[in-house]
Amino acid sequence: MAASAASPVRVVAAESSYGSVVETIGGSHVKVVSLLDSPSVNPHQFEASPRIGRQLANANLVVMNGLGFDGWMEPLLSGTSNPKRVVIRAADAASGIVSSDKNEHLFYSPQAMLATASQVAGALARIDPAHTAAYRQGLVRFQAQMLGVYGALQKLIAAHPNLTVTATVPVYNYMLALLGYHELYRDIQYASEENSQPSAQQVKTFIQALQQHKVDLLIYNVQVHNRLTDQEVQTARDSGVPTVGVSAIPLHGENYAQWQIKQLKAIKQALDKGSAKSS
């Protein structure tokens, strides 16, 4: 059973995507620390510190992604004893939404974020029951913000339906699935993300697909750079294939819904520009 806590409720979010959700729901009744809060930081290369251990030890609520995306959190939680601390993992909150390939980038699934937000609101109400009504209102506020994300999705689908797309790494796959886009070459995407060497034939096929315009769009992760991903992006640009960079972490202080809408608009603008050039 969670402890009764006076406001503000102390919250640690592994990523600022989840920190933004908690801030929207909790408002002035929460004090949120987001450990990863900049797209310039590679989440897989994050290194913890004693200060973070203290923050986790004192937290009333921890919100994280799970599925290994922030696997460094698990030993930190195990090493900071706090039996009254509530831990929410998006992978558990949205277990029915996790893709068959166990794609870890759940923050690009609006459904997963809504499911996680519902658990956050419930946990805050249990931790701080005096402000239950405020947390319920905060959840409604977050749900209303998400309508803008779905609106941007619909505008993009209406303007550019039934596309064939690919990506350097599989960070944006949940959103691409919602858009109904046909996605190619997932094998090389996962190889790039895991820093394993794809076969020469895989690389050749991917590069030729860009050169021959077999795909309408290339999504790349601005936080993942290696020889292959840089070659893919440059080939797409040289070939006139629209490219759009996304990140696994929003900018510090950026609202979650605004972050998603901004990137959807960037995709639409890139595709609009590409269509204008080809007409």
Instruction: Look up the domain containing 42 and give its range.
Output: 9-148
Q: Are 268 and 159 in contact (CB under 8 A)?
A: yes
- 226-259 residue pLDDT tens: 888 999 999 999 999 999 999 999 877 789 999 9
- 93-113 residue pLDDT tens: 999 999 999 999 999 999 999
Buried b (16+ CB within 10 A) or exposed e, 95-110: eebbeeeebbbbbbbb
C-alpha 186: how far from its chain's center?
Answer: 18
Decide which of 120, 148, 176 is a domain's last residue: 148
C-alpha 208: how far from its chain's center?
Answer: 29
- Indicate whether 3 belongs to any domain: no
Same domain for 114 and 205, yes or no, is no
pLDDT of residue 44 exceeding 80, the answer is no
pLDDT of residue 5 exceeding 70, the answer is no
CATH number for the domain including 77?
3.40.50.1980
**DSSP-assigned states of every residue in 194-255:** TT----HHHHHHHHHHHHTT--SEEEEETT---HHHHHHHHHHHHHT--EEEE-SSPPTT--
CA atoms within 13 A on the CB side of 28: 0
- Indicate whether 4 belongs to any domain: no
Identify the sign of the CA torsion 153, 154, 157, 158. negative
pLDDT of residue 42 exceeding 90, the answer is no
Q: How many CB atoms lie within 10 A of CB 151?
A: 12
Structure token digits, residue 85: 């601390």
Q: What is the largest CA-CA distance in the chain?
A: 63
Tally of domains in the chain: 2
